[in-house]
Structure 1
Amino acid sequence: MSAARDYQLGLLFVTLSAITWSTAGFFTRLIGLDYATMIAGRGIFGALGIFIVILATHRRNWMTPFATMGRIGLLYVAIVVVGMIAFVGSLGLTSVAHSAVIFATIPFISALLGWIFLRERPAFEAVAASLVALVGVGIMVGFGADGGIIGDFLSLLATVCMALSIIIIRGHTQVSITACACLGSLMSGLVCLPFASLSTIGAGDIGLLAMFGLMNSAAGLTLFSLGSRRLPAIETALISTLDTPLAPLWVWLAFNETAGLQTLVGGVIVLLAVIGHILMSQRRQRA
């Protein structure tokens, strides 16, 4: 496969992962259970979906991807679990606005880590697009002082963990992507399971939790892992910020919740930043 084709696949996979992850708000509104219960179901059903893929592709040798994960694979899983714990913990300790703005710094954190560990010099257009996207997220959620120090720290920790996962996947191509995604999804679900209210789950909720896990966790993690292996770290992180403007779009379409002018303007800026970067990167690849 040519480098240009591989790069285009990376753009496609990471974009699709951002789209699947942006449905989290839609599913949480649709299911209506407490957050710990939904995260537990999402992780467990997501792991089951990825495991079925592993069985279909490896058949009798399904243990091989897990057996060959090595220390790097286990480190990736640990970082995913810590990131999930930090993300869940930050929800009640800081505002959505602070969390979104902190997450929007992930391209710059990824660029710094990529330069340190992978010696990747970020392209100028990627840095410029990341700055524009950060401004767009800031406009969407505002710059209020309604956060908390502990919550902001946990949100930053979750963002750093995601950036580190990008670096690990990018720098260690020998690690089994599906096995890491499967184990990471399972562990994130099991961590939240003790705090879940299992008695509140109805028959219809099980099907919705399965959809949540298969689409938002299994598909999202797998696509993200496949794509981030093919792109520079800063570009993976930049495209991942599409989650922020797309999330209110699905809620609006499904529940008719209108977004304010501030959200619309900021969302358009983020979308234009990412789309502009993709177009410029395609032009660079053709050149």
Structure 2
Amino acid sequence: MRLSSYVQGLAAVTIATVALSTAGLMTRLVAIDGPTLLFLRGAIASVFLLACLLVTARGRVVADFTRLGWPGLVICATSAACAVLFIGALYTTSVAHVAIIFATCPFVAAGLAFMVLGERPSRSALVASVVALIGVLVMIGSGEEGTLAGDALAFAMTFMVALWTVLVRRYPDKPALPCTVVSCLMSAAIALPLASPLAVSSHDLLVVLVFGVLAFSLGFLLLTIGSRYLPPVESALIGALDAPLAPLWVWLFIGDTPANTTLLGGTIVLAAVCVHILAARWVAAGSVVPADS
């Protein structure tokens, strides 16, 4: 038996979101500035993923990069911009503000998908998006304050993430691994002029190395693969899991206890996404076909 591409996409995007939600924990474990972190993460991830490509593609490496074309390069540039804006927002405004602003991503993605792809989001996806937004609104009750510049970066990041999901859905034939390699290289190149990689301690370098390979590289690769099989609004909805998961990792590994409003709001977001995923799985159950069919 094999699962439908839709269910595979749900699984890939969900696993990717869990992996990528550790970005906040990584920033708490190191004592380096944003540009340096962005450069190291992009450089480490690109080298690791390029090595994976050389092993899996072998003689097709150049051909795979050539297949990107202009649409593929636009996808790469968009995802690189997402990384730059995300790190910038985390360093200049509160996590709560980034969470509430990013929670609007499903609505932005739904609007862009309708205009660009003509896709109408399902009623369950829209209902789950509203519930998730309510959950993040509750999380704002923690009392954190942000900055205007940081909030602007978070808004820009949200729009770029929504645009990226639409582009990946629009051009599903673009090879995921080369796309991710080029994206990581772009983000590293953007950060390099302001980065100080030679001043990083061995501890911080090890932390970024572990997270860059296990969380960012594999997570972003799965996100690129899974997003091509899902409507953009659903990819963005699952991405809302970052809101409750990010403070959860900090609590588990560092001991910072989340505020009661964060716990309550995170539970609402988690429930909304889980219920939607389970409902979608039941609906897609009829799409499971024998492997030899």
TM-score (norm 2): 0.91
CA contact 1:95–1:147 (8 Å) conserved in 2: yes
CA contact 1:98–1:143 (8 Å) conserved in 2: no
Identity %: 39
CA contact 1:40–1:188 (8 Å) conserved in 2: yes
- Aligned mates of 2:111, 2:239 — CA distance in 1: 17
1:79-118 correspondence to structure 2 within 5 Å: 79-118=78-117
CA contact 2:68–2:175 (8 Å) conserved in 1: yes
Match of 1:262 in 2: 261
- Aligned mates of 2:128, 2:160 — CA distance in 1: 22
CA contact 2:40–2:197 (8 Å) conserved in 1: no
CA contact 1:137–1:244 (8 Å) conserved in 2: yes
- Aligned mates of 1:193, 1:108 — CA distance in 2: 33
1:1-41 deviation line (CA, Å, top 9, x unaligned): 97x62111111100011111111122222233222212211
Match of 2:153 in 1: 154
Amino acid corresponding to residue 57 of structure 1 in structure 2: T
- Aligned mates of 2:24, 2:41 — CA distance in 1: 13
- Aligned mates of 1:101, 1:213 — CA distance in 2: 25
Match of 2:126 in 1: 127
- Aligned mates of 1:149, 1:248 — CA distance in 2: 22
Match of 1:214 in 2: 213
Q: CA deviation at 1:197?
A: 2.5
Match of 2:291 in 1: none
Amino acid corresponding to residue 175 of structure 2 in structure 1: S
Match of 1:172 in 2: 171
Match of 1:276 in 2: 275
- Aligned mates of 2:209, 2:91 — CA distance in 1: 25
Match of 2:290 in 1: none
- Aligned mates of 1:165, 1:100 — CA distance in 2: 18
SS of the residue corresponding to residue 258 of structure 2 reads coil
1:22-79 deviation line (CA, Å, top 9, x unaligned): 1112222223322221221111111112111111111122111111110101111121
SS of the residue corresponding to residue 174 of structure 1 reads coil
- Aligned mates of 2:237, 2:101 — CA distance in 1: 13
Match of 1:41 in 2: 40
The verdict on how the C-alpha distance between 1:245 and 1:169 changes in structure 2, with shifts beyond 3 A counting, is: same
Structure 1 stretch displaced more, 254-263 or 25-34: 25-34
1:173-227 deviation line (CA, Å, top 9, x unaligned): 2211111111101111221122222243123333222112112321121010111
Q: Which runs of 5+ in 2 are unaligned?
A: 287-293
Match of 1:13 in 2: 12
1:216-255 correspondence to structure 2 within 5 Å: 216-255=215-254
Q: CA deviation at 1:144?
A: 6.4
Q: CA deviation at 1:172?
A: 0.8
SS of the residue corresponding to residue 126 of structure 1 reads helix
Amino acid corresponding to residue 45 of structure 2 in structure 1: G
Between Structure 1 and Structure 2, how many residues are aligned?
286
Q: CA deviation at 1:140?
A: 1.2
- Aligned mates of 1:143, 1:118 — CA distance in 2: 38
- Aligned mates of 2:113, 2:107 — CA distance in 1: 10
SS of the residue corresponding to residue 121 of structure 2 reads coil
1:25-64 correspondence to structure 2 within 5 Å: 25-64=24-63
Q: CA deviation at 1:87?
A: 2.9
Amino acid corresponding to residue 207 of structure 1 in structure 2: L
- Aligned mates of 1:143, 1:206 — CA distance in 2: 32
Structure 1 stretch displaced more, 53-62 or 10-19: 53-62
The verdict on how the C-alpha distance between 1:185 and 1:110 changes in structure 2, with shifts beyond 3 A counting, is: same
